[in-house]
Amino acid sequence: GEDVEQSLFLSVREGDSSVINCTYTDSSSTYLYWYKQEPGAGLQLLTYIFSNMDMKQDQRLTVLLNKKDKHLSLRIADTQTGDSAIYFCAELEFDKLSFGAGTTVTVRA
């Protein structure tokens, strides 16, 4: 994950929006991904964005991509307690996924 950076922690109140940020280094990345990992579980693919897109929306999730700044963000609207998890961004480079360190999101009542 040294080529992909994320902030480590985010605390958000239930019902508010969460924004998780990620920066990456490889400008040739074709796809960028967001995965969610709950305690003791595997990784769940949440969404992904192709590098020629700026934005992708999927229900409560919005992905924004700023290719010039190599910045990716995931916005979760109306955050719920079930959204508490570690969120990993990842870039696809030479057929390999390179993960960020993960952002631990804690949802408080």
Which residues contact another protein by CB under 8 A? 1, 30-31, 33, 35, 40-45, 48, 88, 92, 95-97, 99-102
Which element (helix H / strand E) includes 100? none
Shorter beta-carbon distance to another protein: residue 18 or 103: 103
Cα–Cα distance measured from residue 53 to residue 15, given in angstroms and rounded to the nearest whole number = 28
CB of 88 to another protein, least distance (A): 6
Nearer to another protein, 68 or 96 (CB): 96
Query: CB of 96: closest distance to another protein in angstroms?
Result: 6
- How far is the CA of 61 from the CAs of 25, 43, 98, in angstroms? 23, 17, 22
Of residues 17 and 45, the one with the C-beta less far from another protein: 45
Please, which residue, 64 or 99, has the CB nearer to another protein?
99
Dist. CA 108–CA 63, nearest whole Å: 23
d(CA 79, CA 26): 30
Q: Which residues, listed in sequence order, are joined to residue 35 by a DSSP beta bridge?
A: 45, 88
**Closest separation between CB of residue 105 and another protein, Å?**
14
